[in-house]
Chain A
């Protein structure tokens, strides 16, 4: 099993540009989660999907952030326009069970730097 796949692994962009992060969950996992990790705030849940449907997006910081899951094997997190304070590591995770309180499998993360 390939595990959760994220791309790109690193992204450097300039303030104001659009950024799109991609995630492929483990096959058969019904839950998909997007997290952001910073030194100051640790690991924070942004949004999660169950069977491709967004369930809780209360962690999305503002309207500049959006996420989609068009099918069971693909999700995107978009930031438009990006700002320097968005610099962080963004993780995608998936889970086969009631993933909100069970083990979640994390991807390798995307390190985003906004200049």
Chain B
């Protein structure tokens, strides 16, 4: 059975800290890995990764994929209170399979 596991489940940090969120997967027919941010509403797209070792970057967020070890990480540097959200990892096969997410709370 295809599965996507995220860790940690929850993370509490102070503004300015750097955090690393993890996503590991076991799926057949891997096509892509996507990261979404979900605040109190709909998930919003962050990154899509298809190749190992190529970092995607957007401002303070970056992500990389390791297709040999079957995982991805999402890094957030210099965290801000606005980064507080649930971060979802999804693996694309013949559908998107979502992990249960990491809840990040950033306090001033």
Binding site for B on A (CB under 8 A): 4, 33, 41-45, 48, 56, 91, 100-109
Contact = CB atoms under 8 A, between A and B. Distances in A.
Does more than half of chain B's interface fall in helix, strand or loop, or is it mixed?
Answer: strand
B5 to A, nearest CB: 11
A104 B94 contact: no
30 contacts: A41-B100, A42-B98, A42-B99, A42-B100, A42-B101, A43-B43, A43-B88, A45-B96, A48-B95, A56-B94, A56-B95, A91-B42, A91-B43, A100-B31, A100-B94, A100-B96, A101-B31, A101-B32, A101-B93, A101-B95, A101-B96, A102-B48, A102-B92, A103-B34, A103-B48, A105-B45, A106-B42, A106-B44, A107-B42, A108-B42
Interface of B: 31-32, 34, 41-45, 48, 88, 90, 92-101
Given A43-B88, A101-B93, A109 B32 contact: no
Q: Name the 4 nearest CB pairs between A and B, nearest first.
A: A101-B92, A101-B31, A106-B42, A42-B100
Contacts of B43: 43, 91, 106
Contact of A108 (B31, B41, B95): B41
A106 B36 CA distance: 10
A47 to B, nearest CB: 10
A78 to B, nearest CB: 21
B103 to A, nearest CB: 11
A109 B41 CA distance: 7
Contacts of B88: 42-43
Given A42-B100, A43-B43, A101-B96, 14 more contacts: A41-B100, A42-B98, A42-B99, A42-B101, A45-B95, A91-B43, A100-B92, A100-B95, A101-B93, A101-B95, A102-B92, A106-B44, A107-B42, A108-B41
